Amino acid sequence: MRTVLKGAILMVFVKAEAQTSALAVADSLFSTGDFTKAINHYAQSNDQNASLQIARSYNALGRYDKAIAQYEDVVAKQPEAQIAGFELAKLYLKTKSYEEGRKLFSKLIASNDSNPEYHYYLGEIFTELNQPASSLNSYKKAIEKDSQHLKSLFRLGKFFVIKREKEAALRYLNQGLNVYPDDVSLINLKALGYFNNNEYQKALPLFERLVALGETQEFILSKLAYCYFKSWEFEEAKSTYKQVLFFNDQNSDAYYNLGLVHLKEQQLDSAQIFIQKSIEVQTPVLTQEYEALARIERLRKNPKMALKYYQMAHEEAPEVSMLFHNVCTLADQVYDNPEKVLPYYEEYLERYGHEDGYSIEMVKKRVSQLKEEIYFGKK
């Protein structure tokens, strides 16, 4: 009896030792980025943490479907596991599963309301769902929990800069800059807040600070140059506009404004040269012309050429949904294969599905019809 008992104990010990060894190897592989091998070793263990590490490995590999399934299994077995729940909720956000993410973040907040990250990411979900009031409420709750939560302060500042509500924007941006004075995102937003309000002398030192911190992108230099111009610092303006043109010699605004600087200084020949150059580099917008050609081809009953011209018109003005609707309907005429037509309508919904109107409903109906045609065509 004692021999049997000793044998059983030894087997349990050996099994536990093997699992511990497998976990150690798996952890080493995970930490060095060898995620596929790590998964194989974690799979040899029944430890709950191994299951979580498998989910993390799939996530790191970009295999989000498997990562989500693994995370969901962990959370189902351990509903109180906030770390796994938090990582799963963020993955829902990443994969645009917004409703699942909203539910899970709400659940996490119900169990731990004091965590500002939960409120921030719920705000991100509401932002993606185009629910600005709810997103603002979540960001504000995040900074109630942590007054130094920079990501939420940035989001609030950005919202009010876009709305051109300068005072509200500055309140949140200054709160963030008190925490981290060199945060370039917050400095940029504060500069834009003043710039959009035509307070160029206040915006000027902020754009200079961005450049000093290494932010020398074209749009920052362009705004810095314009601030110099509006502050009558013409030599600085000319020098900065030339830096802009070094990055992009097709920037028509830079040529035009450089011309205006020379005009202010009564340097008429130079002003004329730069303004003429501005005209030369501008690419004409040919939306109306291409659309007119498309209509002509439609009247000629030549849908293939009409489709081509509508596609060219849409490239010129991608924000105009009706142009792409014409692309869809003409593709429907040109191609007999529903599998070739369906992607056009699906792209329409992806681009313009947020709009209201009769066209959206008609496109949704056509998508359903095409899917039925494809399904029954394979039967």
How do residues 171-221 score in pLDDT, each as one tens digit? 999 999 999 999 999 999 999 999 999 999 999 999 999 999 999 999 999
- Cα–Cα distances (Å) from 335 to 200, 304, 368, 378, in that order, read 55, 9, 17, 18
**292 & 367 share domain:** yes
Query: Mean pLDDT highest for which of 129-143, 262-276, 363-377?
Result: 129-143
pLDDT at 47: 81
pLDDT of the residue at 8? 47
Of the candidates 40, 49, 87, the one whose C-alpha atom is nearest the C-alpha of residue 68 is 87
Domain boundary among 157, 189, 215: 215
Asked if 298 and 278 sit in the same domain, the reply is no
Q: Identify the DSSP state of 355.
A: S
Q: Domain containing 353 — which CATH number?
A: 1.25.40.10
The pLDDT score that the predictor gives to residue 10 is 46
Structure confidence at residue 378 (pLDDT): 65
Asked if residue 121 has pLDDT above 50, the reply is yes
By residue range, what is the domain housing residue 227? 216-283
Judge if 307 and 235 occupy the same domain.
no
What mean pLDDT value characterizes the chain? 91
Q: Do 225 and 206 belong to one domain?
A: no
Residue 51 belongs to some domain of the structure? no
Q: Are residues 181 and 226 in the same domain?
A: no
User: What is the tens place of the pLDDT at every residue in 139-172?
Assistant: 999 999 999 999 999 999 999 999 999 999 999 9
Does the pLDDT of residue 3 top 60, yes or no? no
Q: Is residue 256 part of a domain?
A: yes
Domain contains 237? yes
Number of domains in the chain: 3
What one-character-per-residue DSSP string does 10-36 give? Answer: HHHHHHHHHHHHHHHHHHHHHHTT-HH
Question: What residue type is 102 in one-letter code?
Answer: R
Domain co-membership, 320 together with 346? yes
- Could you say which of 215, 241, 275 is where a domain stops? 215
Among 283, 304, 331, identify where a domain stops.
283
Q: Are residues 292 and 230 in the same domain?
A: no
Q: What is the pLDDT of residues 334-361, one digit of tens each?
A: 998 999 999 999 999 999 999 888 889 9
Residue 222: band (very low, low, confident or very high) from pLDDT cuts 50, 70, 90:
very high
